[in-house]
Structure 1
Amino acid sequence: MRILALSAAALLASATAALAAPVSVTVAVAPELQKTFEKTYGVREAERLTADLQSSVEKTLARSGAHDGARIELVLTDVKPNRPTFKQLSDTPGLSMQSFGIGGAAIKGRIVAADGSEKPLSYRWYESDIRQASYNWIWSDAEWTFDRFARKLVRDAEIAQR
Structure 2
Amino acid sequence: MAHNLFGYITNPFEQVVTLTDWIHQNVQYLSGYSNAQTSAFDTVTEQIGVCRDFAHLGIALCRALTIPARYFTGYAYHLKPADFHACFEAYLGGNWVLFDATKLVPLNGLIKIATGRDAADTAIANIFGDINFTTMEVSCELADAENFEPFYYEAGGFKGLVYL
TM-score by length of 2: 0.27
More helix per residue: 1
Structure showing greater Rg:
1
TM-score by length of 1: 0.27
